Amino acid sequence: MITCTSQVICMDYGSVWYKACPADRSPLIIFFISYQTMASNNTNATTTAPLASKDKQVLVTMAGPHGTDIVGAVLDCLANHPCDINDCMLSRLYHHVTFGVLITLRSDSDAIFKSLAAAAEKWDATLTYNVPDTEATEPPVRHSQEEGRLGERDPQGVPPSLEEAPYVGRFKYAASLLNQNGLQPAFLRDWAQFCLKYRISVEKLSPLNKDGGMLSCADFRLSVPQTLDMSKLRTDLFELSSSHGTDIALQRDDVFRKNKRLVVFDMDSTLIRQEVIDEIARHAGVVDEVAAITEAAMNGEIDFKESLRRRVALLNGTSVDVIEKVKESLTFTEGAHFLCRALKKLGFKLAVISGGFMPLALYVKAELGLDYAFANQLKVSWDGKTLTGETVGPVVDGIRKAELLDVLAQAEGVTPKQVIAVGDGANDLWMLNKAGLGIAFNAKPRVQQQAPSRINQKSLKYVLTLLGFSEQDLEQLSSDY
């Protein structure tokens, strides 16, 4: 039995490997499940060589314990016989390699198959063949909940890559699964059933956590039917995520996923742990009144502009010196410094767009090395000693945040698809939905439900996980700091 410390090592074209460290700390156990797929899977993999004919496509798969020797043996055979290589795929665990090559025969001779068979025997390898069929239909699905699947069977075809599921009319998505306490078997089981229900094909699984540790984050590449109701899918995905306390971030797997260039952060309860207006109110002796209005605003129960007006009015007569005291008491969110430094190292531009106040936004900007800061400006008395209970200039509410995101994207010469937005409040939803990747960070339930993605972990470093960066990548990014 695989315990909660189980880890999927890899799931690629030719194999699935599971690693488990039992609860009693007995020696490591490795499970290997070999599987075969092909450009069209209406025919099973066979060890019998197909009838050779010119221009026929054949998927050749060789698997065995001799690592690179397997790769070399297959390529040597192909080099000595007339054929074209259309695609290839490699999966490895330690010495064991599964190597698949899609070829087009350029003669009617079966000598190539004899050569491959001899090589397989030499290297103690398993050799199988598949012949793609572009007219294939989806085979019967053998699982216990077949009746729960949505929609009709998908038409099939030869995909552009062996890594891709052999169905037409699909979008490519990436799903990041994240739980700092470990991805539990019960959750992974329900996640697999979710994919089956929606006819979502898993094309690749990549663990992102550190080697040897418990599986806590994984990146899935998915083939999703274009006909799905994505609104319903995301609603069900949120329910699955909430029921297991595990984050699932679903985003289009396209060129923009790892080519984001601008990150926009909310400030209060995102980059810092506090709500700054509550901290100012604490020094002014009106913290309870202000905190109640803040809570209602973050939950979306009160319009942000109205809530800001009410809260700022309660600060009338407060000494401006409290701003410096609040700066001294600010606590940055775990991972905030690392995330911002790592992003800068990767060439990102960073901004804070806050419904708070400029003196504190500028302080956070300087501490984290951000490029831009936008926030509300508190009006002070004629002698500059006290707050008047008013603001000056445009109010940075939810709509303004989205507008500023657009302005920054234009200034940096990027599209909204290349922007990441991170926030926790209802007034952040506009910019979260405007950005290519919008992340609700430890947000209120209503905000999480309406946000495109969410992170409910302690550290902001997991923003990088949603971009597909592994823990090894994060270690490399931190090595110079």
- Please check the confidence at residue 235 and state whether its pLDDT lies above 90: yes
Higher per-residue confidence, 207 vs 150: 207
Percent of the chain scored above 70 by pLDDT?
Answer: 83
pLDDT confidence band for 258 (50 / 70 / 90): confident
CB atoms within 10 A of CB 267: 26
CA dist 360 and 267 (Å) reads: 9
Mean pLDDT along residues 386-399:
94
Per-residue pLDDT at 161: 67
Per-residue pLDDT at 58: 92
Lowest mean pLDDT among 212-226, 426-440, 453-467: 212-226
CB atoms within 10 A of CB 230: 13
Q: Which residues pair with 34 in a beta bridge?
A: 15
Per-residue pLDDT at 155: 57
96-127: burial string, b at 16+ Cβ within 10 Å, e else: bbbbbbbbebeeeeeebbebbeebbeebebeb
Tally the C-alpha atoms within 13 A of residue 329's C-alpha that lie toward its C-beta: 14
Handedness of CA 376, 379, 385, 387 (dihedral sign): negative
What CATH number has the domain spanning 262-478?
3.40.50.1000
pLDDT confidence band for 22 (50 / 70 / 90): very low
Per-residue pLDDT at 415: 96
Domain with CATH 3.40.50.1000 in the chain: 262-478
Mean pLDDT along residues 147-175:
69
CATH number, domain 170-252, options 3.10.150.10, 3.40.50.300, 3.30.70.260, 3.40.920.10: 3.30.70.260
**What tokens were used for 43?**
């025919």
**What mean pLDDT, rounded, does the chain reach?**
84
pTM of the full structure: 0.79
For residue 99, give the H/E element and its range. strand 96-105
- Going from the C-alpha of 464 to that of each of 63, 120, 234, 238, 422, the distances in angstroms are 34, 42, 22, 21, 12
Mean pLDDT along residues 145-170:
62
Higher per-residue confidence, 213 vs 463: 463
Per-residue pLDDT at 96: 84
CA dist 174 and 176 (Å) reads: 7
Tally the C-alpha atoms within 13 A of residue 154's C-alpha that lie toward its C-beta: 25
Higher per-residue confidence, 38 vs 380: 380
- Going from the C-alpha of 252 to that of each of 171, 231, 419, the distances in angstroms are 8, 14, 14
Higher per-residue confidence, 144 vs 442: 442
CB atoms within 10 A of CB 21: 18
Higher per-residue confidence, 99 vs 45: 99
Mean pLDDT along residues 397-402:
96
pLDDT confidence band for 404 (50 / 70 / 90): very high
Lowest mean pLDDT among 69-83, 122-136, 164-178, 218-232: 122-136
- Going from the C-alpha of 318 to that of each of 154, 259, 286, 380, 388, the distances in angstroms are 66, 46, 10, 10, 8
Per-residue pLDDT at 5: 39
Domain with CATH 3.30.70.260 in the chain: 45-130, 170-252
45-130: CATH architecture: 2-Layer Sandwich (3.30)
> Looking at the annotation, which residues are catalytic?
266, 268
